[in-house]
Structure 1
């Protein structure tokens, strides 16, 4: 059986009369990149904070790196909270070394590793710049480097891509993969599906404080049927009557759900009718589509970034 870096069952957290987290269970295998996905306000941050021991659950149990007392493992954890914060007058190298020192890393070792991390992240030129001189995205990456300088067993990132431009998003993805390759377990929350689709080996989807799905990205996609895009040689309105009921015309092509028995019989009928085949592709549903199916479109009404 695969060992778990993090596990929890029946986690509940109330704020007044509201259950922000309502019976969440999670199992994060060691050495994987694991995503906790959900719209804003779903309970992701509260769940992560309970797993880390920052706040205590009202009900339920959790284990982090083998301990039922998460704070006992704090030196083995790197954490990037949703609320960013660095001392603005510190230099980048010192800021990273300082964060490592808080986890028990010797100062000289932290400064040496900080320089190496900044170089690998493409920020070596900024090692002696003060934090206040950095762009928001660069400062966010520096804080992330401070979260990994002590080489933690578990790295927990709360909405790490929020506010980053595409270049820094790519740098962050590379850094996350590098930490996984080093042997760390990565647990991060996001409501932006593109990052989760590229990075995650397993995911949980949380909405309304409850886990709605747990499994691999492919298992989430499999909740929706395959789609076909068909382009005839000779287009005509009559083609629509021959296609599945959900067929939609898009320019000179048609998109529709794959028939249960396969597409071969349909193609034969189209060819026999003289429409021919100019193009045909089978499209797998994306994680965004599966996410909408799991969570419900109404929960995403105010979530424009989810489609990123």
Structure 2
């Protein structure tokens, strides 16, 4: 388990991180989300030892992270970090060798990973000749080629088309299934919501919310209901205890002040005609994000 305890970082007078604490469990995918300048990249660089915290600690299974531990980490920065004139396979093998792999094992693992990431036909191309999306895939391969025990990725899905996103999702899920704690940041909240076991939302250098999606919905989400009828649902606007969020003909989304108000609205809908569907609307991560950073 990767653990951050009360991590604080200042840049001069600016407080970039303010007592940031959260955990990334073994074998769990944790999404790290926040607006620009919220502190995501600074947090990741402190985890990797690229930056030093002013106070607080980073630990693995309760023990402070050492330089030796960090050699077993995999890291993908948001900025491009590969040698542009090296060939894709050469670059990936080189990075595995730096982590102590034999030449044969490094080449075997690099070829397998690059094929999995859809770069099997581009292994002899230079990094600079690749499209931006393929450069992103190569960057992910560089972070994973030595089979890290902890994986930290800064915007891994940036610039990827939908098919590539699906491929990378599978690769990261496999890394987590092997037991590695996986932390990644992304502005693509739909991907985070679909892929992650746990979420950490940071705002203004502080953790605004953390937990599983279900836990965050229970704590921060609103209970909204969706109604679809064969008639006009405009009457809902006058229904006691009901606040209509969206409305279009026979379709409406609303909040109910009490369970009895919701039941009364459903009974009224049945009395007025055919009810095609009635269900609870799941609060999205985007809605939770807006709520907690407001």
1:244–1:256 contact (8 Å) kept in structure 2: no
Of the candidates 231, 239, 243, which is equivalent to residue 228 of structure 2? 231
TM-score, normalised relative to structure 2? 0.92
For each residue in 1:78-101, what CA deviation from the matched residue of structure 2 results, as whole angstroms up to 9, or x when unmatched? 110111121122111111111112
Deviation at 1:281, TM superposition (A): 2.9
TM-score by length of 1: 0.88
Residues 84/66 of structure 1: CA separation in 2 closer, same or farther (3 Å cut) = farther
Question: Do the aligned partners of residues 268 and 66 (structure 1) sit closer, same or farther apart at CA in structure 2, a change above 3 Å counting?
Answer: closer
Q: Secondary structure at the match of 2:259?
A: coil
Q: 1:197/1:236 Cα in 2 relative to 1: closer, same or farther (>3 Å)?
A: closer
The secondary structure found in structure 2 opposite 1:56 is: coil
Aligned to 1:253: 251
109-118 vs 231-240, greater mean Cα deviation = 231-240
Partner of 1:109: 105
Matched residue, 2:161: 165
Q: Kindly indicate whether the alpha-carbon contact (under 8 Å) linking 2:151 and 2:181 is maintained by their aligned counterparts in 1.
A: yes
**SS of residue paired to 1:87:** coil
The residue number in structure 2 matching 1:284 is 282
Q: CA offsets, 1:167-226, max 9 Å, x none?
A: 222221111111112222211112321121111111111100001111101111222222
* CA displacement at 1:66 relative to structure 2: 5.7
| Uncovered stretches (5+) of structure 1, i.e. residues with no partner | 297-308
| TM-fit CA distance, 1:151 | 0.9
CA displacement, residues 219-254 of structure 1 (integer Å, 9 cap, x when unaligned): 112222222222233326444312644213224312
Alpha-carbon distance change, 65 to 149 in structure 1, aligned in 2, over 3 angstroms? farther
CA distance in 2, matches of 1:202, 1:238: 40
**Counterpart residue number, 1:269:** 268
User: How far, CA to CA, are the matches of 1:134 and 1:237 in structure 2?
Assistant: 54
Higher deviation after alignment, 158-167 or 145-154 = 158-167
| Aligned partner of residue 278 in structure 1, secondary structure | strand
Name the residue aligned to 1:208.
204
How far apart, CA to CA, are the structure 1 residues paired with 2:157 and 2:40?
15
Q: Where do residues 117-266 of structure 1 align in structure 2 (5 Å cutoff)?
A: 117-222=113-218, 223-235=220-232, 237-242=234-239, 244-247=241-244, 248-261=246-259, 263-266=262-265
Deviates most, 11-20 or 170-179: 170-179
- Find 2:7's aligned residue among 11, 21, 31: 11
Partner of 1:85, secondary structure, is coil
Question: How far apart, CA to CA, are the structure 1 residues paired with 2:104 and 2:276?
Answer: 65
Aligned length: 291
- 1:117–1:145 Cα contact (<8 Å) kept: yes
Give 5+ residue unaligned stretches, structure 2.
none
Moved more, 231-240 or 203-212: 231-240
Aligned counterpart for 1:25 among listed residues 17, 21, 24: 21
Is the alpha carbon distance of 1:121 and 1:267 closer, same or farther for their aligned partners in structure 2, counting shifts above 3 Å?
A: same
Tell me, yes or no, if the aligned pair for 1:225 and 1:258 is still in contact at 8 Å.
no
Q: Per the alignment, do residues 29 and 269 of structure 1 end up closer, same or farther by CA in structure 2, a change over 3 Å counting?
A: same
1:304 — aligned with what? Answer: none
